[in-house]
Each structure stands twice: as structure tokens, then as C-alpha cells.
């Protein structure tokens, strides 16, 4: 249905226009008529018509001024001007106001029907375009979360083709894909580990929409779904390489998210990987973020300060490198001593920290790291040879390992 308001100070002219409309059009509704510009403005505001058929020469506010006022409150309304005067200035002013047609009185019925039919067709096409756009937007709203989940699955799964990540970025419309991974974990930390991960994940799932809204408000990113008690985020960054400035910016982002998210669920932790130049390297950043998260949640430090809920992988390396690199003693203290006292995951984290420290140590090349790993396996055999079933297989794998090109 198309709503029409007729404005003319001559009653016979109004009646004539209404008669022609009712005779020739079924899908229209005459919502009212006016005999002055002032009344037309008030009725246009209250009735919100689709089309206004307007006379120009009226007492008080003329038709041109009335159209200016109406356009302020109803930007989409269509005007058809009817005037007894063929003034050039009127025609020019009408064009600036977006008038669809300028007709001279007396209006011939065939011409009037043609013009009104054309305007109704334009409104119909606009409505159909809007409907299609809304339907397309709804479909995108349904598809985008599926694409985001597919992106995260490709990122997190071992053995997946890294080029698939680039294809996803192309679908999202990202030309530059440099960035890093931010991993958020829910759960209360007790005795150096996260307790009740399933319960924390359920709570995180309930508040997922709020978390996603907060994260998207601060950065350009892809937010993955809740996986157990974690949310993985790929943050697109203008920096193409890791740097102190980029790390500072990333930690500031983490603090912003933490401060907002803590009001919803306080027991969250954030691990951050390094920034990489393209999406193909995102898997490295993902592993770095998980490593930072494991170190953070295994830490015995007090967690009363929210700043202690965020850790960048580079801060682990920097802290380790500030200490003396006596790896023989470190293996003894961190690996051999703890293995008999602590759970397997704690020792695994200790090994990952130590291995990352070796890799970051500029004084150690690949051969030196390999030799340290051989020493460690031999040390295991000396202490627990009766339980080290794959001793020779493990040594063979280490000895046969080749340095990957970076």
C-alpha cells in the first residue's frame, strides 16, 4: 500500500486529484488532504505519507517552503508538484528539493496517471531493493559465524593447509592479514591450575555475545566460538612485524578488554602470541598464545591484580633471558626434580618454557639445542631407565631432526 497526501488550497482541485487516484489505482491510500502549507507540514509529520501531491501557490507557507520542512522529517517522501504558473524559478527550486515531476494546471488525467504510476513504481523498486538487502544481511549474519568457526578450526587444527586461512581472509574482505592471536581462558585458578573448566566454559558460552561485542568494539578481529573454556581471537594489526611498539599496543588492547570483561566474569586470563606479517604465520602465533596462557595459569603468583591476568609470549622469553643460562642446572631443577613431584602437565609447561628459552638464546644454534635435548633424554635414562621404553627411538628422532627454514 502506498500512502498519499494531497495539498492544494482549491477544494475542487483536491477533489479532482483524489477522484483520478481512486479511479486508476487500487494499491493506494489517501491518508489526508490539506489546504495550506502549515497544515501540510503537520499532517506529513503525523501521517508519514509516501507521496505528496503539492500545489505551490498557497496562503501562508507556500508549497516550496512546506516541502523544505517536510523533507527534514521525511527524507524518503516523493513530491509531485502541481502549479497554475509555469515559472522557471519554481521549477529550478523544485528540482533542488528532489521533486519527481512538475505538472501544470489543469492536469490531464492520462498524464497524471502516467506520472503517479512511475513514482509508485520507483517506490516499489526501492522497497524491493531494501527487502533484498535486508534478506542478504540476514543471510550474512547467519553465515559469518560459520565462516569464523571454520577459520578458527583451520587455525587450531594441526595438519590443516595454512593457505585455507588466506582463503577465509579473502572471504572476509581483508586485504592485509598481518596480526596476532589473543587467547582468552575462563576459570577460577586454584593451586596453580584452572578448576572447573567445563563449568567456566558454560558460563562463558552464556555471556559469549557480550564478550564478542566488547572485543569487536576495540579492534578489527575474527572472534572464534567458545571451545571448552577458551575463546581464540585473531587480531588484525597494522604492524607487519613484531616490535616493542606493537607489543605495547597489543597489551593495551588486552587491558581494555580485561577491564570491560571482568565486570561480566572476573576469572579470565589472556595469553598473547607474537605479531606476524601474514595470516599464513597465524598458527605460530596461536601456539605462542597458548604457551603464554599455560604459563600464566600455572603461575603461583598472586592473581589479585588484573594486570597479572595478561601475558605476552615475549615477556616469558625476556624474563628467562635475564637469568643465567645454565641449562644443565635448569634441566636438573625444572625437569628432573619436578617430574617426581608434580603432574605431567606442569613438567610439560616447564619443558616448553625451557625449550623456548633455548630457542631465543642467541648464543645457541640448532646443533647446541639438539645436544641439550640428547643430554636430557640420556639423563632420563640414567634416572628412570626402567620406565623409559622408547629411549632409543626418542634419541634417534632427536639425532635425525633437521633444522627447518624460518
Asked if residue 343 and residue 305 are part of one domain, the reply reads: no
β-sheet bridge partners, residue 231: 184, 226
Residue 170 lies in a domain: yes
pLDDT band at 306 (very low <50, low <70, confident <90, very high): very low
Is residue 112 pLDDT above 90, yes or no?
yes
Residue 38 to residues 9, 62, 69, 380: CA-CA distances in angstroms?
Answer: 11, 8, 10, 94
Q: Which residues contact 135 (CB under 8 A, 6 or more apart)?
A: none
Torsion of CA 293, 294, 300, 303, to 10 degrees: 20
Q: Are 174 and 203 in contact (CB under 8 A)?
A: no
Name the domain boundary from 285, 312, 339: 312
Counted domains in the chain: 3
Regarding whether 187 and 165 lie in a shared domain, the answer is yes
Same domain, 176 and 296: yes
Asked if residue 142 belongs to a domain, the reply is no
Give residue 396's domain range: 323-406
- Taking the C-alpha atoms of residue 261 and residue 263, their distance in angstroms, rounded to an integer, is 5
Q: How far apart are CA 331 and CA 396, in angstroms?
A: 20
Q: Are residues 81 and 228 in the same domain?
A: no
- Residue 205 and residue 106 share a domain: no
Instruction: Quick: pLDDT tens for 251-292.
Output: 999 999 988 887 777 678 899 998 988 887 788 888 888 888
Work out the average pLDDT over 298-309: 55
Same-domain check for residues 347 and 236: no
308 and 327 in a single domain? The answer is no
Would the pLDDT of 244 be above 80? Answer: yes
pLDDT for 369: 77
Please state which of the ranges 8-22, 32-46, 58-72, 294-308 shows the lowest mean pLDDT: 294-308
40 and 91 in a common domain: yes
Tell whether 192 is covered by a domain: yes
pLDDT at 323 over 60: no
Shared-domain flag, residues 249 and 113:
no
Determine whether 129 is exposed, middle or buried from the number of CB atoms within 10 Å of its CB (0-12, 13-18, 19+).
exposed
Same domain for 231 and 349? no
Global pTM reads 0.52
**What's the mean pLDDT in 356-370?**
69
CA distance 254 to 257: 5
Q: Are residues 174 and 244 in the same domain?
A: yes
- Same domain for 165 and 125, yes or no, is no
Amino acid at each position: 500500500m502506498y500512502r498519499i497526501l494531497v495539498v492544494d488550497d482549491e477544494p475542487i482541485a483536491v477533489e479532482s486529484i483524489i477522484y483520478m487516484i481512486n479511479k486508476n489505482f487500487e494499491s493506494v491510500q489517501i491518508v489526508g488532504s490539506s489546504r495550506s502549507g502549515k497544515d501540510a507540514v503537520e499532517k506529513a509529520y503525523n501521517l508519514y505519507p509516501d507521496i505528496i501531491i503539492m500545489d505551490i501557490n498557497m496562503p501562508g507557507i507556500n508549497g516550496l517552503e512546506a516541502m523544505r520542512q517536510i523533507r527534514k522529517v521525511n527524507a524518503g517522501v516523493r513530491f509531485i508538484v502541481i502549479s497554475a504558473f509555469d515559472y522557471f524559478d519554481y521549477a529550478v527550486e523544485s528540482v533542488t528539493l528532489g521533486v519527481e515531476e512538475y505538472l501544470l494546471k489543469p492536469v490531464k488525467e492520462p498524464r497524471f496517471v502516467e506520472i503517479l504510476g512511475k513514482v509508485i513504481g520507483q517506490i516499489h523498486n526501492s522497497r524491493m531493493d531494501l527487502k533484498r538487502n535486508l534478506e542478504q544481511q540476514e543471510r550474512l549474519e547467519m553465515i559469518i559465524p560459520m565462516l569464523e568457526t571454520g577459520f578458527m578450526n583451520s587455525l587450531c587444527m594441526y595438519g590443516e593447509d595454512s593457505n585455507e586461512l588466506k582463503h577465509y581472509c579473502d572471504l572476509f574482505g581483508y586485504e592485509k592479514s598481518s596480526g596476532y592471536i589473543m587467547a582468552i581462558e575462563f576459570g577460577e585458578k586454584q593451586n596453580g591450575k584452572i578448576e572447573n573448566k567445563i563449568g567456566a566454559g558454560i558460563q562463558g558460552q552464556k555471556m559469549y555475545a557480550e564478550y564478542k561485542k566488547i572485543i569487536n568494539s576495540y579492534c578489527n578481529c575474527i572472534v572464534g566460538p567458545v571451545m571448552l573454556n577458551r575463546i581464540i581471537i585473531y587480531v588484525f594489526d597494522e604492524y607487519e612485524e613484531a616490535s616493542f611498539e606493537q607489543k605495547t599496543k597489543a597489551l593495551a588492547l588486552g587491558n581494555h578488554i580485561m577491564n570491560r570483561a571482568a565486570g561480566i566474569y572476573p576469572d579470565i586470563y589472556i595469553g598473547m602470541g607474537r605479531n606476524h606479517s601474514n595470516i599464513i604465520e597465524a598458527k605460530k602465533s596461536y601456539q605462542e598464545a597458548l604457551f603464554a596462557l599455560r604459563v600464566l595459569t600455572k603461575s603461583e603468583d598472586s592473581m589479585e591484580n588484573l594486570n597479572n591476568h595478561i601475558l605476552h609470549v615475549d615477556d616469558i622469553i625476556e624474563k628467562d633471558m635475564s637469568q643465567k643460562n645454565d641449562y644443565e642446572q635448569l634441566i636438573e631443577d625444572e625437569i628432573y626434580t619436578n617430574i617426581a613431584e608434580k603432574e605431567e602437565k606442569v613438567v610439560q609447561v616447564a619443558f616448553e618454557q625451557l625449550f623456548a628459552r633455548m630457542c631465543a638464546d642467541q648464543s645457541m644454534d640448532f646443533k647446541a639445542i639438539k645436544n641439550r635435548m640428547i643430554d636430557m633424554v640420556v639423563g632420563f635414562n640414567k634416572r628412570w631407565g626402567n620406565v623409559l621404553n622408547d629411549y632409543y627411538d626418542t634419541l634417534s628422532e632427536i639425532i635425525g631432526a633437521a633444522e627447518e627454514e624460518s
